[in-house]
A and B are shown apart, each in its own frame.
Chain A
């Protein structure tokens, strides 16, 4: 198994800062905007962004949620069940701008499930998608991100692994080549 580094911890920091500023361009003071991370791995990215944006806007009250879409997946009974993670949504998204955050966008099916899960918390005014890595040309559904850390061209047998300090001890993104 060979692997190639896509992001070092330094690259990641620069990209996160850029993503924050792009978000600020569109949402200004984040008055009606909520940030929602998708379980299991999108939450680390979402937490980082939320922290940075709270600092930049000096607004410590930007709503932040962690959404688990396990029960909305379309592959139920087609594979071994995935254990749900905790849902942490103590607000409704009625009439809010939602920034949905995940680490890697691949087929788009997780995002599809996430959107369904999100709608059970109200009707958002607008939903935008932010991903750290966009694996181009591998979509099963017509879903495109609004904010992208990096676009990579991958084939099906390859994997992208995002590692976070909180979970894995260091920040790094790998392209894993299974051959």
Chain B
């Protein structure tokens, strides 16, 4: 009956066990029911204050976390680096400790530097939830992706999942690989050779450079966005050429011998990695992913907050 997570913070999927993930999923099932009721709120976290600290832009994740917090009745505080004293030269630890001094219980942080969250977890006394740290991990996204696959197929185990696109700069890809493998799915990464990190096979994934071959193999294709903001050099000649080689369009989808499920973590660059008719097709579960995101984040916050004595 009584069960709790094996971790104090959610820094990355790498640190959690398959049992933790199952616990988050079964809790999220309950929250998904709740957010579909006329009254979408429960009082569980009414004595908890959560700060959303965003050092990098975000729409979906930030709104999703904020809604999750409010639906659990937590008090929320929003902080974005662009309008703060970080500009005046304050360090990360000082910024966070100042927020914590105002009696904040949990920190949800997005940061452009990989490892920022685990650094913070070591140096401040609070519960840290990673909302994306640079090119490292984005654990709640991976959880909601796997949760959406589970919802669609009943289970994740044995499913064939392809992650297509900018693997090199993607925290979503790394967290997804860890999460899907822990749940027993097979993972293939596909993209131009320049956007596939070296030695990624050591994580136990297969690398494929041919989109059609990958799509023919998989049950689920997770189409990632090309992260222009992180690309300091040219990794491919032009976006048009990328789209010709790795973009998913209706013709390609219809030419497959089976129906696959299409996912995208957002934001979509329509016409680049995925065309509009695919994004809006019946095979796409992109908006289900967004809905599940709130339930998953409620489950994560609830289970982490519950641990604090």
Contact = CB atoms under 8 A, between A and B. Distances in A.
A14 interface: no
Contacts of A79: 2
A121 B37 contact: yes
Contacts of A26: none
Interface string B278-309: 00000000000000000000000011011111
Interface residues of B, number: 29
A171 B308 CA distance: 39
Interface string A117-146: 000110000000000000000000000000
Contact of B44 (A68, A76, A80): A76
B47 A77 contact: yes
B78 to A, nearest CB: 23
B59 interface: no
Interface string B31-60: 001100111011111011000000000000
Contact of A87 (B2, B23, B30, B45): B30
B306 A81 contact: yes
B259 to A, nearest CB: 30
B37 A77 contact: no
Interface string A52-87: 000000000000000010111100110111111011
A16 B42 CA distance: 33
16 contacts: A70-B30, A71-B34, A71-B44, A72-B43, A77-B306, A77-B308, A79-B2, A81-B4, A81-B303, A81-B307, A83-B1, A84-B27, A84-B30, A86-B30, A121-B37, A121-B39
Interface of B: 1-4, 23, 26-27, 29-30, 33-34, 37-39, 41-45, 47-48, 72, 302-303, 305-309
Interface of A: 40, 68, 70-73, 76-77, 79-84, 86-87, 92, 116, 120-121
